[in-house]
Amino acid sequence: MEGYINQVQEKEHYYFRPPVCPRQDYYYYGCDRGNHSAGKSNGEASKTRANSCKAYISFKVITDTGISGAIIQKMQHHTGHDENNSKEKNRIHPDLHSLVKIWLQLGWSTSEKLQLSNPSFYLRSVMMDRDLRVLNAMKSIFPNAKLLLCWFHVLQAVNRWLVKADGGHLTPEQRNVVIHAMASMKACLTEEEFLNVSAKKCSEIDTFLGAPHVTTYLKTNWFTYAEVWVNFGRTFYHCSSETNNKAESVLHTEHGLTIH
């Protein structure tokens, strides 16, 4: 499957996201520009990578009388964007994919290649939004770098969840209570302080909302990563950066990263 996807990407210069596997025998690769736009860009390819592209390739694995194979279904007519348009937002140059592929074939990681090119290279920290795939990849590639979450994206993600059905469709007043509680937690300079403040704020939120669903969400999705967004994990020189918004606005990268 990966070989087939790679051939398509190399030939067409269109790229696909990691597979979604709703069933054990089914793999769905959606176009990497398939997300729906939620902002003011209206899905315009020159403003956002979220172009609602419907292109996909899927594999239905079959096994019969000891012979394994796959039924391939695909829709390769890409909509909402054109990789040949130089004005598209965050276009990925095909040479970059080729270069990364060569590194991997040679057994080099990205950090090893950077250090080989520049022995004095030392990555102090990386700031990103909360994409667990990227976060885990950065841990693997740059094990000595400090990983930080963009504070803007933390608040944006929490706020978006609060207005959804799972979050209870909270009113602006209710959301403000939660966001202010998050801000108080972020200000903590030690892990012990964070544990005390977060316990107090969670109790206040539960009392205010009359239900624990919000604090359960925070504990599950954010408290386990407190070190990368609370101030006690930022007690080193990182140019006082709290967000990666400037990087996202000027750099043509697949994901917004601020690297120090």
Q: What is the pLDDT of residue 50?
A: 83
Q: Are residues 238 and 147 in the same domain?
A: yes
Q: Are residues 251 and 170 in the same domain?
A: yes
Number of domains in the chain: 2
Tokens of 101: 């592929």
Q: What is the pLDDT of residue 169?
A: 93
At residue 260, the 3 state secondary structure works out as coil
Q: What is the pLDDT of residue 108?
A: 56
Q: What is the pLDDT of residue 99?
A: 57
Beta-strand runs (E) in 31-180: 56-64, 67-75, 125-128, 146-149
Q: Are residues 137 and 68 in the same domain?
A: no
Is 205 a member of any domain? yes
The predicted-structure confidence for 109-122, as pLDDT tens digits, reads as follows 555 555 555 555 56
The stretches in the chain having pLDDT less than 70 are 65-67, 86, 89-122, 237-239, 245-260
Point out the domain boundary residue: 75, 92, 112. Answer: 75
Tokens of 225: 């990563």
70 and 1 in contact (C-beta within 8 Å)? yes
Q: What is the pLDDT of residue 181?
A: 96
Range of the domain at 212: 123-260
Is 222 a member of any domain? yes
Q: Are residues 169 and 243 in the same domain?
A: yes
Q: Are residues 128 and 255 in the same domain?
A: yes
Is 247 a member of any domain? yes
Q: Are residues 215 and 127 in the same domain?
A: yes
Q: What is the pLDDT of residue 96?
A: 54
Q: What is the pLDDT of residue 198?
A: 96
Q: What is the pLDDT of residue 43?
A: 79
CA angle 96, 248, 188 (to 5 degrees): 120
222 and 154 in contact (C-beta within 8 Å)? yes
Q: What is the pLDDT of residue 226?
A: 92
Cβ-count burial 20-47 (b if 16+ within 10 Å, e if not): eeeeeeebbbbbbbbbebeeeeebbbeb
51 and 81 in contact (C-beta within 8 Å)? yes
Is 18 a member of any domain? yes
- CA–CA separation, 81 and 88 (whole Å): 8
The structure tokens 């209570």 sit at 177
Tokens of 90: 């965050």
Point out the domain boundary residue: 44, 60, 75. Answer: 75
Point out the domain boundary residue: 75, 103, 138. Answer: 75
Bridge partners, residue 126, by sequence: 147, 259
pTM for this predicted structure:
0.53
- CA–CA separation, 1 and 147 (whole Å): 32
